[in-house]
Structure formats: C-alpha cells, structure tokens
C-alpha cells in the first residue's frame, strides 16, 4: 500500500472510530442508560474503514484522472495588447464544469450504491449471529433489504453538497480525509443504523 494511501486509510479508521464512539454515547444518552463502550462495535467500524478506504482512494483518483477538475487553457496566440509576448507563468488552467458534473453524477450514483452496499455487506456479515439456522448471507440480505433505500435517501441529504465542493476545491489526495471529517456525522448515523 503506497504511503499516501496508508496515511489516508489510517486517518479514516481513526475518524470512523471516533464517530462510532460518539454514536454509542448518543445512543446511551437517548436511552437514558449508563454509557458503556462497546469496543467490538468500534473495532468493526475501524476495520470497515480500513477495508473501504483504499477502493475509495482508487475511485477518487480514477475520477480525477479521467475527468480533471482543472484543464489546461490554450495560450493566446498573439501575446498582450501591445503585441509583446506574455511572460510565461506556467500552464494556465480553468475549471471544467463538464468534468465536475460527470464526476458528480458518477460519484452520486455508482459510487453511492457501491459504498452503501459495501457497508451493508460488511456489517451484515460482521454482525451475523454465530448460532442458529441463520447464515451470514441471510443477515446480509436482511441488512440490504431493510437499510439500503433509507441509507441512500439519507445520504443524498449529506453527500451531494460535499461531493460537489470536494471536486471543486479539495485536492484529490485530501478528499478521503475531508470526507472522513464530514463523515463523522455520517458515521454517527451509520452507527445508529447498525443498532436499529
């Protein structure tokens, strides 16, 4: 794993753990019961972040490589108004609204579906009962049936705005960590969904 990917994955795991601990605290506060940390649940969220961050890093890199936000601008052929060549400052770029729109649509459709399914499959398997007739696949199917649509719809209340802002202003190598910071609130929601 390249060092940048390792660092982003590690930061994501820490932030995911923090969001789960906060969710456990919120849950006990709402239920008016004493707080008791469930380290197994926190570990599952950290492990999910370790598993899901590298594919998301690759996904964000792919989107930026194929559809860069900033594209080169062709230099003016005749220099400035008095006919003298313009001083060379390096390549000029402009924001490609088309590329940002393509990335946004791909991320909010394909990316959202894959990420939601990854989460539900992972948590369905991790939380499957170890005794009885139910298999982990039954648990996964139940998670998908019960939670996929609500999670997608709730995700559309949070992620489109962040996605658009990240494509416009956040460098690709910082998007996962920025997403994890925003994701603290989302992680609390996910943690509470797992308990639901």
What's phi and psi for 156, nearest 5 deg? -70, -10
Residues comprising the chain, all counted: 196
Q: Can you give the pLDDT at residue 89?
A: 64
Q: Can you give the pLDDT at residue 81?
A: 58
Question: What does pLDDT average to in each consecutive run of 10 residues of the chain (196 residues)?
Answer: 85 90 89 94 95 95 96 71 60 93 97 96 92 88 96 92 93 84 82 72
- Model's pTM, two decimal places? 0.84
**Contact by Cβ (8 Å): 16, 49:** yes
Q: Can you give the pLDDT at residue 99?
A: 97
Q: Can you give the pLDDT at residue 144?
A: 97
Mark out the alpha helices in the chain (DSSP H runs).
3-31, 39-66, 97-106, 112-126, 136-155, 159-169, 175-195
Q: Can you give the pLDDT at residue 53?
A: 93
Q: Can you give the pLDDT at residue 29?
A: 87
Q: Can you give the pLDDT at residue 82?
A: 62
If one counts every other C-beta atom within 10 angstroms of the C-beta of residue 5, the result is: 16
DSSP 173: G
Q: Can you give the pLDDT at residue 179?
A: 84
Q: Can you give the pLDDT at residue 169?
A: 93
Q: Can you give the pLDDT at residue 120?
A: 96
Judge residue 118's burial from the number of C-beta atoms within 10 Å of its C-beta, 0-12 exposed, 13-18 middle, 19 or more buried. Answer: middle
């Amino acid at each position: 794993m390249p060092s940048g990917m390792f660092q982003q994955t590690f930061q994501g795991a820490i932030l995911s753990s923090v969001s789960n601990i906060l969710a456990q605290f919120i849950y006990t506060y709402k239920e008016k019961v004493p707080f008791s940390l469930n380290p197994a649940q926190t570990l599952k969220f950290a492990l999910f972040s370790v598993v899901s961050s590298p594919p998301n890093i690759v996904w964000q890199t792919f989107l930026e490589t194929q559809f860069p936000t900033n594209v080169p601008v062709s230099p003016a052929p005749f220099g400035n108004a008095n006919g003298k060549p313009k001083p060379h400052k390096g390549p000029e770029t402009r924001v490609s609204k088309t590329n940002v729109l393509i990335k946004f649509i791909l991320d909010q459709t394909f990316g959202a579906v894959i990420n939601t399914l990854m989460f539900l499959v992972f948590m369905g398997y991790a939380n499957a009962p170890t005794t009885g007739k139910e298999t982990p696949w039954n648990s996964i199917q139940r998670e998908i049936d019960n939670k996929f649509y609500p999670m997608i719809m709730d995700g559309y209340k949070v992620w489109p705005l962040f996605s658009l802002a990240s494509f416009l202003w956040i460098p690709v190598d910082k998007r996962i960590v920025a997403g994890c910071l925003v994701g603290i609130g989302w992680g609390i929601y996910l943690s509470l969904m797992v308990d639901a």
